[in-house]
């Protein structure tokens, strides 16, 4: 989760700082300004990063929050596909691995 959060954070920073680098997509169903997408990715990246640090410390609540955040991150990455297809797919795979890891890690049912 820490790695996924950092990658989303960097994606958000790059969209905020230099939105002319990304491919413009006219008539996209979820058409926002790239700076808006950058802020969404930046905020979500910071929250995922913090939840990932809490998972490392062993907090059970962070696993549940991490699952929800990874799902939100997957949705944001899916909507990011027209702007940076390869990078969005990489983030989708990372988020999928986060969901898998949080669901299969031992210790959730232990008292």
CB distance 16 to 35 below 8 Å? yes
Please tell me the distance from the alpha carbon of residue 42 to that of residue 64, in angstroms, as a whole number. Answer: 21
pLDDT tens by residue, 6-26: 988 888 888 888 766 566 666
Residues 6 or more apart whose CB falls under 8 angstroms from that of 42 comprise 8, 9, 12, 13, 16
Q: What pTM did the predictor assign?
A: 0.79
- Read off the tokens for 74: 């997957």
Q: Is the dihedral of CA 45, 34, 28, 81 positive or negative?
A: negative
pLDDT tens by residue, 44-71: 999 999 999 998 898 888 888 999 999 9
Find the angle CA(44)-CA(82)-CA(51) to the nearest 5 degrees: 15
């Amino acid at each position: 989760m820490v790695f996924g959060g950092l990658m989303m954070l960097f994606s958000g920073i790059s969209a905020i700082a230099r939105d002319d680098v990304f491919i413009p997509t006219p008539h996209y169903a979820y058409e926002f300004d790239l700076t808006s997408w950058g802020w969404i990715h930046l905020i979500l990246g910071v929250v995922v990063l913090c939840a990932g640090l809490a998972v490392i410390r062993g907090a059970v609540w962070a696993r549940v929050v991490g699952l929800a955040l990874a799902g939100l991150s997957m949705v944001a990455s899916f909507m990011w596909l027209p702007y940076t297809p390869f990078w969005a797919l990489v983030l989708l795979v990372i988020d999928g691995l986060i969901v898998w890891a949080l669901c299969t890690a031992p210790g959730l049912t232990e008292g």
